[in-house]
Each structure stands twice: as C-alpha cells, then as structure tokens.
Amino acid sequence: MKRNLVVACFALLALCLCAAGVAAQESEQPMPAMGAPEQMQECNSLIGVWDVASKMKMDMSSEEWTDFEATATYRMILDGSAVEMTYEGPMMGMLFKGMGIQTFDRETGLWQMTWTDNMTARTSLYTGKREGEKMVMTGEDKYGGMTYLSRITSFNEKPESFDWMMENSMDGGNTWITTGKATYTKRK
C-alpha cells in the first residue's frame, strides 16, 4: 500500500513537471533573467543611515501636524535584488518601528514596496514608477475600518538628502490629502 502511494506521488509530480514544461514551451515569453534587476542600481545611494525629520497628521480631517525625529537604515538584501529599510523613532508616546522592502519587477516594469509597522501590524503593498524626478508609489491601506488609497512620493533626491510625502484619498484617487512629510538627511 505504501509503495503504491509513493509511486502515485512520483507519477503526479512527473505529470506536474511535464505540464509546467509544456506551458513554458507554449509561452511566447522566455523566463526572466535571474539576479538583481539593473534598475536596482538606482537604489545604491540609499544605502546607509539617515536622520529623518517628519511631520504627520494623526487625523486626516485635522490641520494639526505632529513633528518627530526618526532614523532610517537602508541596506541591500538578496544579492542586490531588494532594498530593506528599517525605520525607528518616538511617536505618540511609543517607539514607532517600521520596515519596508523595495524591488523592481522586471515583468511589470514597476517598482514594488512593502511596509509593515508596529502601529498597524499589517503589511501594505505599493506599486509605482518614476515620474520625472519623482518616485511615486500607490497602494491600498486601511485605518479604523476604512479602506483608502495611499500615495508615497520621494522627490528632491540627492546623494545626501531627499524629501518624502504621503497622501491619502478617500474617493478613489480623485482628491488627495497630504498626511505625512519628511526630509531624510544621510549621516556621514
């Protein structure tokens, strides 16, 4: 009985591999290149430790901004195929910690970024592209039971500094409210 089960498993595995091979042969597109996409070289200047001067709106309907200082550390991971960013600083009486991973998807031609932090305890996915001198990433987020769009823009990019802005839209992207601003300055 055990032997029949093992033979059946191997037969199923062989069938799956054969089907995958036929599907790959029928596809017009070759398998993408392996390793770090060339576009990841654009992230080389991010590698290091940054001081972050931030302003956040804790309530989208308010005009009140909360200032706080943080530290961001960027490093290449996965043989240069992704950049990991860790973020840490005091906010609202707690130590706010976050982590993001940014990659370039060769197949879609878009940048991707994940974000997870200890306040929301969820992972958000943003996708985007360069628009002139700006990197613009958009994704869906949740807060207080509401789902809305978030747009993150990096601009004024120089080797030693860049500006960052977060905007939110409650109406599917027709109007945007700026809810976060920051200036990143690289430590020497």
C-beta contacts of 90-94 below 8 A and 24+ residues apart: 91/56, 91/66, 91/119, 92/58, 92/66, 94/118, 94/119
Task: Give the predicted TM-score (pTM) of the model.
Answer: 0.79
CB atoms within 10 A of CB 97: 15
Share of the chain above pLDDT 70, in %: 84
Cite the DSSP H helix spans in the chain: 2-26
What are the sequence ranges of the domains in the chain?
A: 1-31, 38-186
Q: Which of 127, 119, 114 is nearest to 94 (CA)?
A: 119
Please say if the pLDDT value at position 21 is more than 80: no
For residue 100, what are its two tokens? Answer: 């993001």
d(CA 165, CA 8): 56
CB 57 within 8 A of CB 180: yes
- With cut-offs at 50, 70 and 90, classify the pLDDT of residue 27: low
Architecture in CATH for domain 38-186? Beta Barrel (2.40)
Give 43-85 pLDDT, tens digit per residue: 999 999 999 999 998 777 778 898 999 999 999 999 999 999 9
Pairing state of beta strands 134-143 and 146-158?
A: antiparallel
Q: Which of 66, 113, 127 is nearest to 92 (CA)?
A: 66
Please say if the pLDDT value at position 110 is more than 90: yes
Give pLDDT, residue 57: 87
3-class SS of residue 3? helix
Kindly list the distances between the CA atom of residue 52 and the CA atoms of 39, 42, 68, 154, 164, in Å, as whole numbers in the listed order.
25, 21, 8, 13, 10
CB 51 within 8 A of CB 71: yes
- With cut-offs at 50, 70 and 90, classify the pLDDT of residue 32: low
Give 120-162 pLDDT, tens digit per residue: 889 999 999 999 899 999 999 987 788 999 999 999 999 999 9
Give pLDDT, residue 138: 97
CB 172 within 8 A of CB 162: no
